[in-house]
Amino acid sequence: MVKELIVKNRSCRRFYENYLIDIEMLRDFVDCARLSASGANLQPLKYILSCDSQKNSLIFSNIAWAGYLKKWPGPEEGERPSAYVIILGDRTISPTFGCDHGIAAQSILLGATEQGLGGCMINSVKREEMQRVLTLPKQCEILLVIAIGKPKEKVVIEPVGAKGDIQYWRDSEGVHHVPKRSLDEIIIG
């Protein structure tokens, strides 16, 4: 069931960093994105793959983690992602990218989850700096960074409480809790 895979695919931010992911696996995840829908079939997305420690480290330096966990600066050494897929939008193909990167990112992470991996879509990116250190093509815009690795944290979904707070939080055991709105709250009529 795809729903089970969707439930299993929780945003994950701590990993077994020594678990290696090879480039062929990343290519296969991007192939899942390639075969997904694209607005007007324009396919303006391009991808940067990283699974070596030097490139990973350049990417790590230019992203921010878990906005709601104010006291947590992000995964420490040894718990960082083993790989990344950066989704770019090629402006020579289209000036705008609609929600193509959302479609693509979901396909990539479902592919990764099925392989026992996990990851996180990261939008908090020092875009100019990342563009520079990775010498990305000027016509490409960074849309999303997807961190991928072998999950080293437990994530649970729970209902949004009476106060309506949707901020995720981490308990004393390190379990990450994610409040999700109910079906009845999000379906109108």
Q: Give the span between the Cα atoms of 174 and 36, in whole angstroms.
A: 35
Q: Which two tokens stand for residue 176?
A: 């990450």
| Cβ at position 77, least distance to its own copies in Å | 25
At 103, which helix (H) or strand (E)? helix 100-114
Q: Which two tokens stand for residue 83?
A: 């790989």
Residues 54-113 that bind its own copies (CB under 8 A): 67-68, 88, 98-107, 109-111
Figure out which of the listed residues 20, 42, 58, 69 binds its own copies, where binding follows CB under 8 A: 42
| Cβ at position 153, least distance to its own copies in Å | 15
Figure out which of the listed residues 6, 64, 156, 175 binds its own copies, where binding follows CB under 8 A: 6
The answer to whether residue 163 forms part of the interface with its own copies (CB under 8 A) is no
Q: Please, are residues 175 and 156 in contact by the beta-carbon 8 Å criterion?
A: yes
Other CB atoms within a 10 A radius of the CB of residue 89 amount to 21
For its own copies, which stretch binds (CB under 8 A), given 47-55, 56-64, 74-82, 148-156? 47-55
The answer to whether residue 168 forms part of the interface with its own copies (CB under 8 A) is yes
Residue type, 106: Q
Other CB atoms within a 10 A radius of the CB of residue 160 amount to 14
Q: Give the span between the Cα atoms of 158 and 155, in whole angstroms.
A: 10
**Applying CB under 8 A, which residues contact its own copies?**
1-3, 5-7, 9, 11, 27-28, 30-32, 34-37, 39-43, 45-49, 67-68, 88, 98-107, 109-111, 114, 121, 123, 136-137, 140, 143-144, 157, 166-168, 178-181, 183, 186-189
